């Protein structure tokens, strides 16, 4: 295991999709240092696990990569876009990032299909094209027959599969998964991980996953450990 700067020998694509240099982020007027000069490179198409104890800064790091939050210092370049300078972060998220949360975060009054369509509102797709693409994704997570159900009628694993379909719908270059199995039992969790892994290779998408469970982390091509806002060697 290394800190990722030199990449992994298994990777056939040497291009970095994420480049983070000396990234700093503090909260509560500087009292809490979430990220403290962090450096990280992620290759295109890589499956990376970010591990570390609670409060180590791993979720903050994921939010920075996904442009949900902005850094105080340092540089962060994702999919060729400098997030410290770019102002159109919503557009970046729409095009490049797919999020999978610990809590599936589906919209309760919308059907499974409509939930998967949600990220496509910012694209130029027509309603029928949106529907077609969403159905395609639901098929790949084996939930085509549940498309008209509302999320509350689904099991935890099914909900997370819908969330994965939603994350992939805009053809993102990176999937960011924050404890994707955290709210599932281990058997269901395994299925979700396998699905993520399969889709990662099938869709040729970079997968960055935050977890604190070692056996989950081991599914990845590479694991980095975060402690006190830095990558541990």
* Binding positions for other proteins, rule: CB under 8 A: 63, 66, 68-69, 90-95, 97, 99, 101, 103, 105, 107-110, 113-114, 117-119, 121-122, 127, 130-131, 166, 170
78/97 with CB nearer other proteins: 97
Of 66 and 189, CB closest to other proteins: 66
CA dihedral (168, 170, 176, 179) in degrees, to 10, reads: -40
DSSP class per residue in 137-171: HHHHTT-GGGTTS-GGGS-HHHHHHHHHHHHHTT-
Minimum gap (Å) between residue 9 Cβ and other proteins = 33
Rounded least distance, CB 105 to other proteins, Å: 5
Choice between 10 and 109, CB closer to other proteins? 109
Query: How near is the Cβ of 60 to other proteins at its closest, in Å?
Result: 8
| 56 phi/psi in degrees, rounded to 5 | -80, -20
Element (DSSP H or E) covering residue 177: strand 174-178
DSSP 42: E
Instruction: Compare residues 5 and 103 and give the one whose CB is closer to other proteins.
Output: 103
Degrees to nearest 5, angle at CA 183 with 132 and 171:
30
Length of the chain: 233
Minimum distance from residue 113 beta carbon to other proteins (Å):
8
Both tokens assigned to 4: 């990722």
Between residues 84 and 92, which has the closer beta carbon with respect to other proteins?
Answer: 92
Smallest gap, in angstroms, from Cβ of residue 110 to other proteins? 7
Q: How many CA atoms lie within 13 A of 190 on its CB side?
A: 3
Closest CA to 134 of 118, 119, 117: 117
**Smallest gap, in angstroms, from Cβ of residue 203 to other proteins?**
17
Whichever of 114 and 203 has its CB closer to other proteins, that residue is 114
């Amino acid at each position: 295991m290394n800190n990722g700067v030199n990449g992994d020998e298994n990777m056939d694509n040497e291009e970095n999709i994420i480049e983070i240099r000396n990234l700093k982020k503090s909260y509560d007027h500087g009292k809490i240092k979430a990220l403290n000069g962090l450096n990280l490179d992620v290759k295109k198409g890589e499956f990376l696990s970010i591990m570390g104890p609670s409060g180590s800064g791993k979720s903050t790091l994921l939010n920075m990569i996904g442009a949900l939050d902005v850094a105080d210092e340092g540089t962060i370049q994702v999919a060729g876009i400098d997030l410290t300078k770019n102002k159109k972060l919503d557009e970046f998220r729409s095009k490049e990032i797919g999020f999978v949360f610990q809590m599936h975060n589906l919209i309760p009054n919308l059907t499974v299909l409509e939930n998967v369509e949600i990220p496509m509102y910012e694209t130029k797709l027509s309603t029928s094209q949106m529907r077609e693409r969403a159905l395609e994704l639901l098929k790949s997570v084996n939930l085509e027959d549940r498309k008209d159900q509302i999320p509350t009628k689904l099991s935890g694993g099914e909900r997370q599969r819908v969330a994965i379909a939603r994350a992939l719908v805009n053809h993102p270059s990176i999937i960011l998964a924050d404890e994707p199995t955290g709210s599932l039992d281990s058997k269901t969790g395994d299925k979700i991980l396998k699905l993520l892994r399969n889709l990662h290779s099938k869709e040729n998408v970079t997968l960055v996953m935050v977890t604190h469970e070692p056996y989950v982390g081991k599914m990845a091509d590479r694991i980095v450990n975060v402690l006190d806002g830095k990558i541990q060697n």
